[in-house]
Amino acid sequence: MGALDGLKVADFSWVGAGPRSTKDLADNGATVVKVESSVRLDLGRRSPPFAGGDRRNPDASVFFAQTNTSKKSVTINLSDPRGVEVAKKLIAWADVVVENFGPGYMDRIGLDWETLQQVKPGVILASVSVAGRSGPLSGLRGYGNSAAAWSGHCDMTGWPETEPHMPPFAYGDVVAPMMLTVAILSALEHRDRTGEGVHVDVSQIEAMVHVIGDLFAELPTDKPANEDAEMTPHGVFPCKDDRWIAIACETDAQRMALAGVLGDGSVEHATANWDLVELEQRLIQAGVPAAAVLDGKGLSEHPDLNAAGHFVAVEHPVIGIANMPAPPYLLPDTPSDVGPSPCLGADNLFVFAEIGLTDAEVQDLTAKGVLV
Amino acid sequence: MTLLSGTRVVVLADHLVDFGGSMLARLGADVTLTAAAPLTPARQKAWHKGMTRSDKPLEQLLGNADILLDDRRSGVRDGVDDLAGKHPRLIHVVVKGYPDQDRPVTDLTLMAQSGLMHVIGTPDKPPLRLPGEQAYALTGIQAATAALMGLRARRQTGKGQRITLSALQSAALANYREAVMYEHTGRIGTRRGNMLVRGKSGVRQIWSCADGYVTWSMIDNPGMMRAVVRVMQEHGAAGELAEIDWDAILVADTDQAVIDRWQSVVEAFFAQHSRDQLADWSLKHGWGLSPIIRLDEVPNTPQMKARAMFDADGVPGPLFAVHHMGAK
């Protein structure tokens, strides 16, 4: 039994910011039905890498597979009013509705807040967007870097006295879904206590603001880079073969231990002659906080992560066996269970029967292009 | 925010759970901070916001607690497991640096192991971390999540449980790209500065404008490209970009020299206009461009003001917006 067994989620979200949150829910036992379109594919299904390099197969994206573990997939054409009526049946079944559509889309297709409450009193609506669903930027369409730009992250990333830096990944698509999971679970606590549904509205910009809350309290005039206010030495230092080690000493005891390994001179010069793995082990044994800077290979092969079950080998009908990330927490009485991502529309028959459509209705609506 | 009103939380903090405790407080829980490792005043202001400090014995604090966030970055505090074990409905979230090792960790060493630093920065300099204390913040978020998962489970089972969480996994989970790219393509990401490399070419992400910087990239989105070029044409600045059929080309497959030439046209246009002007055009026409807001400007942006994001203390307050509170 998972922590969220019995929880039902109608998931209208796509790409990264919504699906990573509903993955959290699904991995922990919730039944998450992902509403998709075979006409307008989730861009996640078009995102590399692809199993066997098969970018034309909507079920071959490993990016999508990692972001949508343990879910079910149905196809509904929401541009057809008959599709919206089917969506309402799904909402009537659900405890939580999740969406990250473009601004105003839910209202335009007739799935506004008031309608949702009529369809399912007390249902929770969870939205995630670049800037939130209110305020002058509520209409902002953006990519992953938009939230970094508006939140101060980009301004504070990089080396001092250089232009702002934008890393090659969408950090807003990482922290916003984490905040969305917290929002949904909190809203469920509230509903279970009061019977009230709420609309929780997560902004990527605000999620990124929160994770640099300490910088807003301090307002540094330039980028901190690898420096720290409390620790010295604190930085990333070269080892042999163009590899790097991070060292951060908090106490005099750690600084003495570091000197015991590297001597009293420049840390940077001292580390340059060391093999990374050997130095990391020596420093850890000496009680110095130190760690190798890992690349994708190092992360994939990390012995501690693999021993802890951080990556779970999951069999997928198209991708085969592939590693999927698991939740970082272990609830021994109600453990998570990471299953494969769904193939497009794989659960149409099961889910549509569950929400009350007959086989004949499903066949008819499919033939008419409504359930595709 | 009162979503967690009535939930009682005790926090033993040593950097890994501080933000998690503060998050639960900002959601309306009654959060007591005890035995916290020292922080700088600025970090304390941010990471301990909303929590109430107490020197009462842990035994007393746990008497009516729903959740205990137990930070073991520097080791276990004496007697905690015995005390927690006396409360069968308690959700005891134990947070360590590594899942099965007691090795010293800091935010920097955790970020080093996340695989993110390897791709942040420029090739001529060491790997770089994200600003602030991201490994600690990510672990705090997961600590709050684990606690809330425990609350949900308790509604089903009637019992609390001892949940374990590692900061290493919390930081690694933020890296959605590097491990999977290596496993399925053999490719290992490198530091490329502000260049976004996709396919055989790279595009710029950061541009100077008349009064600062903006972020925008020439990606394969024909509608977006047409929208940008249309405004450039109105200002007589589109040059050869006006002649390109954006539906017929793939930027990712275009030669770098050609992309650089196209980007020089954009560069000259952006340099003549302010952040506000470019941002207005972006919002109006769907460019996908954003102004790069300086840290000290963020709290006073109209969006942050409209959503009451920052409190009077200069630190962000509500974690997200809640609408329609009280709907039955």
pTM of the full structure = 0.97
pLDDT number for residue B86 = 97
B303 to A132: CB separation less than 8 angstroms, yes or no: yes
Q: Are strands A320-325 and B91-96 parallel, antiparallel or unpaired?
A: unpaired
Determine, for residues A211 and B132 on separate chains, whether the beta-carbon distance falls below 8 Å: yes
Q: Of B148, B172, B283, which has the smallest distance from its Cβ to A182's Cβ? A: B148
Q: Is the ipTM of this complex over 0.95?
A: yes
Q: What is the mean pLDDT of residues A14-35?
A: 97
User: Kindly report the CA angle at A68 between A65 and A74, in degrees rounded to 5?
Assistant: 105
- Residue A203 contacts B where some CB pair is shorter than 8 Å: yes
Helix/strand/coil for A273: coil
Say if CB B219 and CB B228 are below 8 A apart.
no
DSSP A130: S
Q: Per residue in B22-64, pLDDT tens?
A: 999 999 999 999 989 999 999 999 999 999 999 999 999 999 9
* Per-residue tokens: A266: 């420049």
How close is the nearest chain B Cα to the Cα of A310, in Å?
7
Q: Which of A320, A343, A322 is closest to A72 using CA atoms? A: A343
Check whether A327 has a pLDDT greater than 80: yes
Count CB atoms within 10 A of the CB of residue A83. 22
Q: Is B195 helix (H, G, I), strand (E, B) or coil?
A: strand
The number of angstroms, rounded, from the C-alpha of A129 to the middle of its chain's C-alpha atoms is 13
Q: Note whether A145 contacts B192, CB cutoff 8 Å.
A: no
Q: Are B300 and B32 in contact, with CB atoms under 8 Å apart? A: no
Among B109, B184, B208, beta carbon nearest to A62:
B184
Report yes or no: A52 and A12 within 8 Å, Cβ to Cβ.
no
Cβ <8 Å between B117 and A149? no
Q: Minimal Cα distance from A172: which residue of B? A: B174
Closest Cα in chain B to A192: B155
Q: Is the pLDDT of residue A144 over 80?
A: no
Amino acid at A132: G
**What distance in Å separates residue A369's CA from the closest CA in chain B?**
26
Domains and CATH numbers, chain B: 8-173 (3.40.50.10540), 195-292 (3.30.1540.10)
Chain B within 8 Å of A157 (Cβ-Cβ)? yes
Q: Looking at the complex, report in whole angstroms how far the Cα of residue B36 sits from the nearest Cα belonging to chain A.
A: 16
Q: Which residues in B lie closer than 8 A to residue A189 (C-beta atoms)?
A: 3-4, 7, 148, 151-152
Nearest to A207, CA basis, from B276, B144, B196: B144
Residue-range domain boundaries for chain A = 8-213+306-367, 234-293
Q: Is B291 on the interface with A (CB under 8 A)?
A: yes
State whether the Cα torsion B28-B29-B32-B38 is positive or negative.
negative
B285–chain A nearest CA distance, Å: 10
Asked whether the beta carbons of residue A246 and residue B109 sit closer than 8 angstroms, the reply is yes
Instruction: Say if B121 is an interface residue toward chain A (CB within 8 Å).
Output: yes
Q: In what order do the strands lie in the sheet with A197-203?
A: A72-75, A31-36, A8-11, A96-99, A124-129, A197-203, B321-327
Q: Say how far residue B9 (Cα) sits from the centre of its chain.
A: 24
Q: How far is A353 from chain B (nearest CA, A)?
A: 27
CB nearest to A169's CB, from B141, B177, B185: B177
**A104: its two tokens:** 């105003």
Q: A25 falls in which pLDDT band (50, 70, 90)?
A: very high
Q: How does strand B30-34 pair with strand B162-166?
A: unpaired
- Give A168→chain B minimum CA distance, Å: 6
B118, B149, B206: residue with CB nearest A3? B149
For residue B73, give both structure tokens: 């970055």
Question: What confidence score (pLDDT) does residue B328 get?
Answer: 61
| pLDDT score, position A156 | 98
Q: Which of A149, A169, A216 sits opposite B316 (nearest CB)?
A: A216
Q: State how far the alpha carbon of A195 is from the alpha carbons of A121, A145, B28, B311, B325, in Å.
A: 9, 38, 17, 30, 11
The alpha-helical segments, DSSP class H, found in A166-265 are: 172-194, 204-210, 213-218, 252-262
Q: HSE of B193 in the Cβ direction (CA atoms, 13 Å)?
A: 11
* The CATH number fitting domain A8-213+306-367, selected from 3.30.300.30, 3.40.50.10540, 3.90.420.10, 3.40.50.510: 3.40.50.10540
Query: Which one of A137, A223, A329 has the shortest CB-CB distance to B303?
Result: A137
**How far is A365 from chain B, CA to nearest CA, in Å?**
32
Phi, psi of A201 (to 5 degrees): -130, 100
Q: CA A207, A212, A213 angle in degrees (round to 5)?
A: 90
**pLDDT value of position B325:** 73
**Minimum distance, in Å, between the CA of residue A338 and any CA atom of chain B:** 14
- Given this model, what pLDDT does residue B250 score? 84
Q: Note the pLDDT tens digit of each residue in A279-310.
A: 999 999 999 999 999 999 999 999 999 999 99
| Residue among A215, A234, A300 minimizing CB distance to B183 | A300
Q: Does A312 touch chain B (CB under 8 A)?
A: no
Contact A333 B159 (CB under 8 A): yes
Amino acid at A319: I
- How far A79 CA lies from chain B's nearest CA (Å)? 20
Asked whether the beta carbons of residue A149 and residue B325 sit closer than 8 angstroms, the reply is: no
User: Which of B43, B155, B322 is opposite residue A214, by nearest beta carbon?
Assistant: B43
Give the mutation candidate from B15, B27, B176, B190 for the A interface (greatest A CB count, under 10 A): B176
- Find, in chain A, the residue whose alpha carbon is nearest to that of B181: A49
Across the interface, whether the CB atoms of A293 and B131 are under 8 A apart is answered no
**Average pLDDT for chain B:** 95
Per residue of chain B (328 residues), what is the pLDDT tens digit? 799 999 999 999 999 999 999 999 999 999 999 989 999 999 999 999 999 999 999 999 999 999 999 999 999 999 999 999 999 999 999 999 999 999 999 999 999 999 999 999 999 999 999 999 999 999 999 999 999 999 999 999 999 999 999 999 999 999 999 999 999 999 999 999 999 887 778 899 999 999 999 999 998 888 999 999 999 999 999 999 999 999 998 887 889 999 999 999 999 999 999 999 999 999 899 898 999 999 999 999 999 999 999 999 999 999 999 998 766 6
Q: Does A217 touch chain B (CB under 8 A)?
A: yes
pLDDT in tens, A84-99: 999 999 999 999 999 9
CA A222 to chain centre: 29
